[in-house]
A = this chain, B = another copy of it.
């Protein structure tokens, strides 16, 4: 247990340093029984508990408030591999094991745990499940939810629910597993999980394709799904501005991809274009994978959807393509502050959304830079907006001050415009990052009274004292069980 503010500091704020709290203490139970004991004590003392895994969340879901009345409950010490069954293709791990370690354990048995995301080296499986993490393999394998067969959870009463079933079919009552998954620690504390493993594909092939437009990207996606079926395991979209920023701030990363993304060495190259990263996993062989990918892209070029494409000739080139995609966030951060979104839409609506949204924002904020990229195949875009650049070549401080001023004036209106359009098109304002603190009130703004009321009823039923991650997902002061209007 830590109580010294200095040693507690890393647990008191999120890694992006957007939220900082004042925890009463940070505790490190070693097993589910100790987690249960902490929960019972918290119930007796009416102390809020904030479960924390790798602390890599993007919505402040694992950061305590500044009341000094919340205890951070770290799951770090629960990191045992409880069991692995290569024939049932399941692995049972404790919540504090990192995602990368789960991947490694699977690989060591010739198997694949397909969940994959930027923070996987630090993010824990407990946090992945609590937030129903997405990532780059959702297209084929689903979100964290779809990769979990069973859970062990400490309830708000400090009891241990043992639901560690490794079954593909089980219809014996309410789906408690899926209720806890994605509830961000507000209904129970996940201490262990049974996860699904898959056979390792014989070969994984990637290609980078320059597409004419979001509509062309959608045509390519449709065709690829028709022709490759479940072998299509990745389909990432990068609008021109995203890769242009990588070229400007991380030139070495962009270099191997310039043939496709456009010659953007000066940051404004006229040939800069929208790009798609496509990944195919084949169960048979590398040559079969390559042939399938080349046939597919050949047809797309004939159809005019793709203007130019590069099939990776080696693992290194494939890694270079992925690095381009994964460096966009870093490049945007290097460029300066911007407004982030994590939206989802019906896949069929992506081109119409992008066209209308781009136009609206460009009209209202001339010069605004639209850093639009993401998991196109899942309908999930990180539609981020950076302030217009300044004329001339101002120094860093001047530029930053200008950006901050722009955001101070417009961030709320931009967010409202984006989310309003997303909701009008039956989308989601949080596709894969959860609500935490960041999107809690925004979700409340858009959700129906019926939905909020159902959520509040469930929260009160499972955590009547409100000790589990208070203030996350739901603000209980806003709606009480009687408030069903």
Contacts and interface: CB of A to CB of B under 8 A. Distances in A.
Given A179-B179, A222-B87, A229-B230, A174 B428 contact: no
Interface in A275-301: 281, 283-284
Interface string A416-442: 000000000011111111110001000
Contacts of A164: 426
Given A346-B85, A435-B172, A428 B167 contact: yes
Task: Count identical subunits in the complex.
Answer: 2
A171 B167 contact: no
A346 B90 contact: yes
Interface in A465-485: 473-474, 484
A174 B179 contact: yes
A210 B136 CA distance: 40
B230 A348 contact: no
Contact of A171 (B146, B434, B451): B434
A441 to B, nearest CB: 12
A460 interface: yes
The residue among A284, A346, A429, A430 with the most chain B CB atoms within 10 A of its own CB is: A346
A408 interface: no
A172 B430 contact: yes
A201 B229 contact: yes
A172 B462 contact: no
Contacts of A434: 171
A134 interface: yes
Contacts of A174: 179, 182-183, 187, 454-455, 458-459, 473
B462 A454 contact: yes
Contact of A426 (B165, B183, B432, B453): B165
A340 to B, nearest CB: 15
Contacts of A430: 170-172
A418 to B, nearest CB: 15
Given A161-B448, A168-B347, A170-B430, 5 more contacts: A85-B346, A168-B378, A171-B432, A174-B183, A175-B182
